[in-house]
Amino acid sequence: MSLELSSGLRKPSFVKRRAIFLFISIILSFIFLSSNLFILQVVKGLEYERRAQAVARRQMPIPAQRGEIYDRGYDIPLVVNRDSFAVDIIPGEVGDNERQELFRKLSILLNITVEEIEKRVPPRYYHLYQPIEIKSGIDFETIAYLGEHIEEFTGVAWHNKPVRSYLEMGTLAHVIGYVGDISREEIQILYNRGYSFGTVLGKNGIEKKYDEVLRGRDGTRFRLVDVRERSVKKKSIEDIPPVPGNNLVLTIDRNIQRLCEQALGERIGSVVVLKPATGEVLALVSYPTYDPNMFFTDKAAVEYKRLSLDPASPFLNRAIQSSYPPASAFKMVMSTALVEEEVFPLDHKVNCTGQFEYGDRIFHCYLRKTGHGPVDFFSGLAQSCDVYFYTVGDALGVERITYYARDFVLGAISGIDLPGETSGFVPTPEWKEKVHHIKWLGGDTINLSIGQGYLLVTPLQMANIVAMIVNVGEIFRPHLVREIRDPVSGEIISVVEPELIHTSHIRKSSFRTVQKAMRGVITEGTAKVVLTTEAVEIAGKTGTAEVGKEDKWHSWFAAYAPYETDNPEDRVVVVVMVEAENEWEWWAPKAANVIFQAIFAGQSYQEALDTLKPWWYVKWLQEQEE
């Protein structure tokens, strides 16, 4: 009885202690959980939120508007951005049974093959919920159709993607270039400079050279996704808007560019118009050309292949990427060397019989087989007498000739702000022996004296030869960009200042003597019959380069005007180069005659022709009437 009572008395006390213990445990657990919850939500809340967003957040670029490009007038743009769209597929939203039918519908709507779509969306991407671009350059009507029939296009989306539009390009295509989607090879080089897959970048010309100025900065569109990469509506991060690229103002004058195109016509060749006092390029023409807008059409691949295989090489910018023997135009360099070195007096007569004997070879005077008779420095250059310059070259020697050629910056690029410029070539005895394993012969020097043989120059280098003579020993870097402007306000961000790239040690008086001799070429020499304009006084030099052993000739004309002026800014250099692929018609000086007339009389090409009425134009008009 006493034991039962004692046990009964202890039982409530035991239960009470257990209850107190349980209560304290619950309180401590609650405090522990609350503390942890406080740490997770408050102390480390932002950190975990960032982690969660990093896992669930996806971002897509918002393409920036590429900067526009203007000519020096800064009025009507040469290149603008056209509103366009790109169509995407989100593979994970497309059922296995629906995929082929969807690809078929898209191929019809977007005018691409099913194979092209399958190439962009291979089976290994079928589980992804990330948009994959399948075609860009889509017009609004197509997007509107997609929006109206979206139930038939499950998994299809689209986004804005501006497309370049090149206006009135003509031969400006070689200057402006074009853009395209970045390739895998390019992304490996440019990734660390902010480029990524899907980026549009310049592929040639100004578009390539100034890509980072034009491209702006892409924005970013954010979206939150679930574990299956599906978008969820909740969005806590604002999109980052894109920053448009800067506008470029070129040194090109669209009217002069068009004038030079018309003067050259459909002849394979090039024209360079340069301001020697600043290096500004007013026109840079190369024919044949291409239309950069073709890269945004459905037939882009076909057209690109066709042009790439064209033997006339329309993608080649002949003004800076083709090198030719300068022929008699090189006599400007030879004349400068003769005057500076004083190898014999300028009034010294050389009797041209039409032949020049050197060793066991006879070199002929191309322009007059019967000979020019006695000629001195001024008449020798005016009549482009080969025998006179054979004599000059023999007296100077190859070392001094190559020295002066390099002093005119031949054999080196000018650094014009275009990709792909070639350096031409100045041969030396060491080069010939190393490459051809043949010693330099006296006959090589004779050929070099009249700009033949191994010597090669580009039309732009020829323009720099004239510029150095005009500037009495200075060459400014040729450039095509004049200003960089803000795309919104139009304010000037930076101006490209003239950059002096070479100063010669040749006496200024020597250059002035050569200028006088070049004037004689126009007034009483080889160009007299063709250079008939009275709008301005011109000084220059003709050149006819033999091509191989065939009866084919390149036609050169390099000149500047006005011959005398108080303001060097008024002067322009014009170089016309017509390749031997064309039917021979000695066209270079004829084209230059019209160009100078139009520029200095403020006329169009047709107005210049009507004013000059050259015999070949009158003859053509008569043929048209018949």
Residue 106 maps to a domain: no
Write the CATH number for 349: 3.40.710.10
Q: What is the pLDDT of residues 468-514, one digit of tens each?
A: 999 999 999 999 999 999 999 999 999 999 999 999 999 999 999 99
Cβ partners under 8 Å of residue 35, min gap 6: none
Residue 617 maps to a domain: yes
Cβ partners under 8 Å of residue 188, min gap 6: none
User: Per this entry, what is the length of the chain?
Assistant: 626
In this predicted structure, which of 153-157, 318-322, 578-582 has the lowest mean pLDDT?
A: 153-157
Residue 539 maps to a domain: yes
Find out whether 552 and 613 touch, Cβ atoms under 8 Å: no
Find out whether 468 and 340 touch, Cβ atoms under 8 Å: no
pLDDT at position 402 over 70: yes
Q: Which two tokens stand for residue 571?
A: 């002067």
pTM metric for this prediction: 0.85
> Binning pLDDT at 50, 70 and 90, where does residue 138 land?
confident
Q: What is the pLDDT of residues 3-12, one digit of tens each?
A: 454 455 456 6
Residue 37 maps to a domain: yes
Enclosing domain of residue 523: 312-477+501-625
Paired strand residues for 77: 70
Domain count, the chain: 2
Q: Give one DSSP letter per residue of 297-362, joined into a string.
A: STTHHHHHHHHHH-TT-TT--HHHH--B--GGGGHHHHHHHHHHHTSS-TT--EEE-SEEEETTEE
Strands 200-202 and 132-138: unpaired
Q: CA separation (Å) from 372 to 256, 380, 419, 617?
A: 38, 9, 44, 30
pLDDT at position 414 over 50: yes
Of residues 366 and 327, more confidence is placed in 327
Handedness of CA 375, 378, 382, 387 (dihedral sign): positive
* Section 58-78 average pLDDT: 87
Q: What is the pLDDT of residues 368-379, one digit of tens each?
A: 889 999 999 999
Identity of the amino acid at 254: R
Residue 195 maps to a domain: no
Identity of the amino acid at 63: P
Residue 461 maps to a domain: yes
The per-residue pLDDT for 1 is: 45
pLDDT at position 594 over 60: yes
* Section 158-180 average pLDDT: 89
Residue 60 maps to a domain: no
Residue 256 maps to a domain: no
